[in-house]
Each structure stands twice: as C-alpha cells, then as structure tokens.
Structure 1
Amino acid sequence: MDFSGASAIARSRVTDSAQRSSASRRSSSAMAHLPRSPRSIPRGDGQNYRCSARARMAIVGLTGGDAMSTATSAVPRLVTPQFVVLGAAGLAYFLAEGMLVPAVPRYVAGELTSGNIAVGLVVAAFSLSALVLRPWAGRLVDRRGRSIAMVGGGIIFAGSVAAYGVTDSIGALAALRLLTGVGDAFFFVGAITAMSDLAPPERRGEAISLFSLSLYAGLAVGPPIGEVLVNTAGFTTVWMVAAGSAGIGVLLALCVGETRAPSVETSAEAVGLIPRAAVVPALLLLALVWGMAGFLAFVPLYALDLGLPSAGFLLGGFAGIVVLIRSVGARIPDRLGAGRSVRISLLCATIGLLVMGGWRTVPGLVGGTVLLGVGVALGTPAIMMLALQRAPAAEHGAMMGTVSMSIDLAAGLGPASFGLVAAASGRGTGFLAAALLAGAGLALATLRAPRRP
C-alpha cells in the first residue's frame, strides 16, 4: 500500500480545513463590523423586505451577488394598463382635434362665405382661449385632480364642436371656437399631468415621448379623415364624428380614473398662478418651438424657392425623425439627463436653422431639416422633465399648464415673425432669425445648468 499518497491526501484535507476556518473567521470579523441597521430590498410586488447588513452579506455570499444586483437593477414598470388607456384617451381626443384642422377653414370660407380675415380669426380663437386658460387648468389639476380636468375639458370640447353645425355667423362660430379652446386647455393639462403621475421619475422622459405619439398620430391621421368626411358627407358629419371621438376620449379618461397620489397635498397658502420655477422651462420650450412653427409654415414655399417641386418629403422626413426618436429612442432623455438633453436639442435646432438659412441649397435644406427634427424630438420631453424636476408633486399641474403655454405662443408668433422677416429680407433670413432665438435658448440653458463642484 502507498502510504505516502494517503499521507498527502490527509495533509491536503488538513490544509483545506484550516483555510476554510480562516476564511470563516475573516468573514465573521467583517460581518461584526457591519452596521446592524436594517435596509430595504425591493420585492417583486412593489413592497420592501427589511434586511440587515449581515443578511445582505449572507445573500451575496450564497448567490455570488446575483440576487442583490437583480434587486437593485430592476427597471420600474412604465407601460401599465392604466398608462395604455391614458394614451388611448389622448389619441381619441387628438384625432378629433385633427379632423377640425382642414374642416374649420373650409366651413368659414365655404358655408359662411367669408374671407381670409374671418378664417384667421375663427382658427385663432381656439388657440387664444387655450393659451389664456392653461395656467388656470394647471391649478385646477393640482387642487381638484387630473380626472376632473380631462373629463370636464373633453365634454366642453365635444359639446362645442357638435354645435358648430347650428351656427350661421362668424361671431357665433368664433365664440364656440373659444369654448373649444377652453376644453382643450383642461383636457391637455390634465392628461399630461396624469401621465407624469403614472411614470416612475427615472422614466419620465420616456413616458412623455411615448405619450406625445398619441398627439402626433391624431394630428397626422385626423386631417385626412376630416377632408374625406367633408367631401363625401358634409360638414355636419365632420362635427358629429369629431365630437364622438372626443366623447370616446372622455369615456377612456373615466376608465383611467384619478392618478394623483393620495399623499400629495396642496399648499394651504396662496400660490401664484404661474410658478416661478416654470419660467425658465417655458422660455426654453418657446425658443425651441418658435423655430419649428416657422419651419412648418414656410418650408413648403422655401422648397419652391430652391427649385424643389414640393416639400412633402421634407415634412414627412421631419415627422419621421420625431416619431423614430420618441419611440425607439424614447429613453434617450432619461439616460442623458434633462439638462444635457435640453442643451443638445437646442444646439441641434440652432445649427439646423442656421444651415437652412445660411446654406441656401437643397442639401442645406435637407441637412437642416434633419438637425431640427432631432432637436425637436429630444427637446420637448427633456424640457418637460426639467420642469417636473423643479417642482414638488403638488405643483406638477401648474408647471405643465405654464410650460405648455409656450406651444400656443410659438405656434402663433413663430410664423408671424418669420413672415415679417421674410417679407423684408427673404425666407432664408427668416430661418436665420429663428436660429437666433433658438441660440438664445441654448445660452439660457447653458447659463442655468448646475455647476460641478
């Protein structure tokens, strides 16, 4: 028998035992120095396990760290049934709004036999009341809840649109358009604030991006539907179908229910109508959307100036870039952070407008369109993220109401100012003027960026 081999095995077992004993003593010593205060580990059902430091070390030792890494790296869920129903409510509402885009001007010019000034006044009445009432809608949303604003606003919108067919004068139609704008102010602010309630803070940029797709889809599909209905069934049918679509949005909003957390309490103190924290985000959004509004209004004419037969592929490409980034790249603002995303978006918009106005060729127009599309796609979600980060949950409605005013202002003033500049110095110069405003927004975003220590 080979005793030397048995002796070697025995020595090996003694050595292994000694090593395990030493490791156990080191582990015990390390655990003894750990704090005994319990911490929470997330559970799959949204609750927390209370776990001491020793237990956490035991879990890590038994699983090689996998359990802890899984617990801490779990991504909060965003697309819940409630979030999907809210998006569907937005789609039904914005589809109704889209149907009115071609129908209202044609009704004024055709059925009411009025001219361009009347068309402009009736169309603008909607934006005017929506602009003025958004801050009031925000305060209602904070104090009374999101659901009442969406349901009430949707009912006002649907009722006023259904009454368009009984009007026989410009004054009566303009009054109803003002009422439609009131409904829009409350529904929109309620919906976007509800969306922010449903989104985990670290996924708000993604939530805003995805929710905005319902707006884009409604305003893309609604106008062709409105045109077909006008041509085949008449204006009364358009008003009824649009009112019905808005009514579906109201029913879906009822299904969503109230999203404001019960723990969110409004301040008993009097608060200004426009929160101070909302001013900078509102100015940033104004600088971004101003140039986009001018682009959408004048690029069809500018394309003809440069020898293109139409601007259809430019407008389609612009919309495609926005939809692509806000769907496939919806999480980009969350990963980059709100501040950095805002600066990148305004930089892209500024360079895009400068290229369009300075390099007055087809390649310049195409390249500028791409850059502007990237800027707009990133900018709106990031700016709204920034606004929500600057205010407590009790003021999210007021923040959204104030910031969204910029969209109405830019939609009206952007094309008007572009037209004035274009009339004096040409359409290319109009793009350069819009670039100056976007650049001012970039400067503001850079100056207000937090400084690193």
Structure 2
Amino acid sequence: MTGPREPREPLFTRSFVLLSASDLAYFLGAGVLVFATPLFVTGPLGAGPAQVGLAMGAFSLTTLVLRPWLGRWTDRHGRRVLLVGGAAGFAVVVLGHLVVDSLAGLVVVRLALGAAEACYFVAGFAALADLAPPARAGEALSLNSLALYAGIALGPVAGQGLVELGGYPAAWVGAACSVAVAAMLVALVPETQGQVEPAAEPPPLLHPAVRGPGAALGLGLLAMSAFMPFSVLLAREAGVALVSVGLLVFGATVVTCRLVFATLPDRVPAAPLATTALVASGLGMLLLGTWPTSAGLVAGALVCGLGSAFLTPAVFALVFRSVPPAERGAAAGGLSMFVDLGLTGGPLVLGSLAAATGLAPAFALTAALPLAGAWVLRPRTARPRVRPAG
C-alpha cells in the first residue's frame, strides 16, 4: 500500500489571481490597439499597407532590444517596479494617440509602447515563475496564459465597438482605461522576488538555460504566428465558406487543452513534451499545405492547436525548473525575446514564401521550422546511455 499523497503547494494565491486579472485587463487594452491601429493608419493618416507594417513593427523593435536588459534589471531591483511602471506607462502612452496626426508621430508612440510592454511582460513572466510552486510551473503558465488569449480575442471586438461608438479617440481612451486597471490590479501584488546578494555576478545577457529551449520555442512560434493571419487567406483560396474556421478550431483547441490538461507539463518530462508539441505543429502546417480543403483546414488547425497548447508551458517548465530564483528575470527576458522573434517573424517568413511558391506550398515549407525546433531540443530528450557493467 502507498501512503497518503502529500498536499500540493497552492497555486491560486491572491497574488496569482491578481497577476492573472491584471494580464487580462492589460491584453484586453492591447487587443483594442490591434484592431484600431491598422485602420487608423489607412484611414485618418491616409497611409497604405506598407506603413501599417512600419507602425506595427516599431512596437516590436523596442521590445526585442530591451527584453534581455530588463530581465537582468528586474533580478537586481525586483519585479514590482517594472510591472506597475510598465502598465502605467503603457496606459499613459496610449493616450498619446489622441494628438497623433502623422505616421512619424505614430511610430514614436509605438516605439514608446514597445518599451512599456517590455517592462510589463518581462517582469510579469518572472513574477509568474516566482509565484508558481516548482512542481506546478507548467500549470501556472497554462492557466495564466488564458488571460492573454481572452484579452487578445475580446480586445478587437471591444475596439470595433468603441470605434463605431466614438471614433478612434474612444478606442484610445478605452484601451488606456483597461491598461490603467491592469496597473491598479498589479499594484496590489507584493514583491515576489527573494533576496538578492548585492555582490552576485549577473548572468550573461542571454541566459545559458534559455538558449536551446528559447530557440526551439521561437521556431515553434514562427509557425503559429504564420498560421494565424494566413489561415484565413488559405481558406478563401480553397473556397471554404467559413473562412475563419481555422482560427476557431485552433483557438478552441488551445484553450480547451490548457484548461483540461493544465497539469500535464508538470506530470511528464518537459523536454519530450515540448518536442512532441513542435512535431505536432510541423505536422499541422504540413497538413494545411498539402490538403487545402475544408477537412484539411480543420485537421491542420486542430493539430497546430495541439502543438501550440503544450509548447509554451513545457518550455516554461523546462527553463524555470533549471534557473535559480535570483536569475529568473534574466531567463524571462531571454525567453520573451525568442517569443517576440517568433511572433513577429512568422508572417514575414510565410508571406515571403507565398510570394515565391504560392500559399499552400508556403504552409508546407513552413512546417520545417517547428521540426527544426524539435531537432534543437533533441539532446535534451535523448535518454542518457547506460554504460555496461564490467
């Protein structure tokens, strides 16, 4: 007979709930901007699609540059300053849209938004790792990430309603108010970082524990971020009546798996789970590229969703189980840099391939990216060889 199970450390603490609620309010506001900004560029500013790309890309430029530095900073000075300051700064900068009357002005605002985003996201990632019990790290990210998905899904809907109700000023004010609520919520979270010795040597700018898993995560996210905008075009090209079916299946799969199987990344070895998720993402993209029909679109989106559902929680658990508490900020900064590269680079890669080969072949070729990520994780998933006795 086995003894009674030891009770698991609590995950749903007051701080965890407040951080997740703050994330929901923050990404709801960010989702409003995702909807309103491209229309603002092509409408009142009178610019074209290329200028939309410039404005949207300016945001990612500052996030990408600042994330690793901010990660090391938050290890030395704590998470709370960047969490509250990043959210409050984002809310204030959003209001700067009210005086923007040129593309150059919008680019400046977007650069500043990227800096605020980097502060909030890196510190939030590190705080989540601090709050998660070691045996529940994957579950913590699975459940917390639902706030991000819900915010990004509902934000554009809210943005459309605000623009229709009061024009772009209503959208900017609404987004700022939502992020201000995020700042107020996260201000109630006490400092999560433990004591750090002043003389402690800071880790390298790109933490060694992040390099392999982060590269694999970035390659997987390249496929996911390519799938999201181009699945609609693939459905239209294939003559599918409901062109959003791929996104619906993908989103429903990710949310369902992260709810139902939230504890899986903590119950199985993280590296093999991440590898399996990457292979699933590759197979999903291959299905989409070689079977461009209604059935193929649903099947490919489902398999891609399975891969995306487990990839980030598995990598999160893999990295933060191997990093000491005093270096979680540096790890969060490096890991989020790979997230940024993956989310911004996917549409560029698939779009370039589609211009050269056509849309369906581009999906099939993009399948190589997550499969390459699985190859990067291969040393971590291989079992150690047992030396024969004698």
TM-score past 0.5 threshold: yes
Superposition deviation, residue 361 in structure 1: 3.0
Superposition deviation, residue 269 in structure 1: 2.3
Kept in 1: contact 2:89–2:116 (CA 8 A): yes
Partner of 1:85: 18
Cα-to-partner distance string for 1:430-450 (whole Å, 9 max, x where unaligned)? 112211111111112123325
Q: Which runs of 5+ in 2 are unaligned?
A: none
Alignment match of 2:207 (pick from 257, 275, 285): 275
1:338 maps to 2:270: yes
Kept in 1: contact 2:245–2:298 (CA 8 A): no
The structure with the largest alpha-carbon Rg is 1
Partner of 1:409: 341
Cα-to-partner distance string for 1:196-222 (whole Å, 9 max, x where unaligned)? 111111000000001101100110111
Inter-partner Cα distance in structure 2 for 1:116 and 1:308: 25
What pairs up with 1:25-424 in 2 under 5 angstroms? 69-70=3-4, 72-262=5-195, 264-265=196-197, 268-424=200-356
Superposition deviation, residue 357 in structure 1: 1.5
Equivalent residue of 2:119, what SS?
A: helix
Letter matched to residue 203 of structure 2: V
Equivalent residue of 1:274, what SS?
A: coil
Superposition deviation, residue 341 in structure 1: 1.2
Letter matched to residue 361 of structure 1: T
1:430 maps to 2:365: no
Cα-to-partner distance string for 1:294-343 (whole Å, 9 max, x where unaligned)? 11121111112222023222211110110111112111111112112101
Identity %: 40
What's the RMSD between the two structures over aligned residues?
1.6
Q: 4+ residue runs of structure 1 moved beyond 6 angstroms? A: none
Inter-partner Cα distance in structure 2 for 1:270 and 1:204: 24
Kept in 2: contact 1:266–1:394 (CA 8 A): no
Equivalent residue of 1:404, what SS?
A: helix
Kept in 1: contact 2:217–2:312 (CA 8 A): yes
Inter-partner Cα distance in structure 2 for 1:213 and 1:267: 38
Superposition deviation, residue 366 in structure 1: 1.6
Inter-partner Cα distance in structure 2 for 1:448 and 1:332: 18
Inter-partner Cα distance in structure 1 for 2:182 and 2:323: 28
Equivalent residue of 2:187, what SS?
A: helix
Kept in 1: contact 2:63–2:115 (CA 8 A): yes
Relative to structure 1, the CA distance from residue 267 to residue 220 in structure 2 (aligned partners, 3 Å threshold; closer, same or farther) is: farther
Give the TM-score taking structure 1 as reference length: 0.82
Inter-partner Cα distance in structure 2 for 1:451 and 1:443: 15
Superposition deviation, residue 188 in structure 1: 0.8
Superposition deviation, residue 268 in structure 1: 2.6
Letter matched to residue 336 of structure 1: V
Q: Which runs of 5+ in 1 are unaligned?
A: 1-64
Letter matched to residue 348 of structure 1: A
Partner of 1:9: none
Superposition deviation, residue 232 in structure 1: 1.1
Letter matched to residue 155 of structure 1: A
Letter matched to residue 122 of structure 2: V
Give the TM-score taking structure 2 as reference length: 0.95
Kept in 1: contact 2:234–2:292 (CA 8 A): no
Letter matched to residue 119 of structure 1: V
Inter-partner Cα distance in structure 2 for 1:398 and 1:441: 22
Superposition deviation, residue 117 in structure 1: 2.1
Letter matched to residue 89 of structure 1: S
Relative to structure 1, the CA distance from residue 265 to residue 381 in structure 2 (aligned partners, 3 Å threshold; closer, same or farther) is: farther
Relative to structure 1, the CA distance from residue 111 to residue 348 in structure 2 (aligned partners, 3 Å threshold; closer, same or farther) is: same
Inter-partner Cα distance in structure 2 for 1:279 and 1:445: 10
Kept in 1: contact 2:194–2:326 (CA 8 A): no
Relative to structure 1, the CA distance from residue 447 to residue 128 in structure 2 (aligned partners, 3 Å threshold; closer, same or farther) is: same
Inter-partner Cα distance in structure 2 for 1:385 and 1:252: 26
Superposition deviation, residue 267 in structure 1: 5.6
Superposition deviation, residue 236 in structure 1: 1.3
Equivalent residue of 2:292, what SS?
A: coil
Equivalent residue of 1:73, what SS?
A: coil
Kept in 2: contact 1:164–1:173 (CA 8 A): yes
Kept in 2: contact 1:142–1:266 (CA 8 A): no
Inter-partner Cα distance in structure 2 for 1:305 and 1:118: 26
Cα-to-partner distance string for 1:130-183 (whole Å, 9 max, x where unaligned)? 111111121121111111110111122111101111121211111011000100
Equivalent residue of 2:377, what SS?
A: helix
Kept in 2: contact 1:342–1:383 (CA 8 A): yes
